[in-house]
Structure 1
């Protein structure tokens, strides 16, 4: 059963699961990237965990996400003392910058199907 109030046919854009989908591909919603940009310096491991969780929405748009985030992930370990230093700040800044420069993801279906 299709809901008439929710059904939209041939819309130029649609927001689906936090992504703006268009004919050109999908990009993260601006509210998601802005939330990451405005994230303050973390004061404890829980704050770092929250930042990483928010950034994980954009991981498909960020090249080497795991490599960049690994220093921050180590801070969330229970046996690791929380000492947020310059290298952690650099990692956080790189994630913020990469999230702000998110590009459109588009699957080239025509080339995959080899219709020509």
Structure 2
């Protein structure tokens, strides 16, 4: 019986450590709230309140949405990321890891250009 309790305790500890390892600590001073255009910052997703994605090109009135999941408080996994501002839309499809793009992405720029990139 004690072995079962220990096993459950170990599994719980592993799950807790895994969950903690995937949670990005985002300080309020690093968010996009109140930042000027062209700032780099963590932007809260309209599609997932309380979940953030890295924004490397903040624009006036910009919002972001994500079709994928969030792990902790950051976007994570495969999906489509949309940034909208001033009637413009920039879309990208690929993987986010801890809220930042990783690996191959297909970008559809606001000016109509399409680009395949690797992060």
Q: Same fold (TM over 0.5)?
A: no
Higher relative contact order (CA 8 A, sep 6+): 1
TM-score for the superposition, normalised by structure 2: 0.22
Q: Which structure shows the bigger proportion of residues in strand conformation? A: 2
Q: Which structure shows the bigger proportion of residues in helix conformation? A: 1
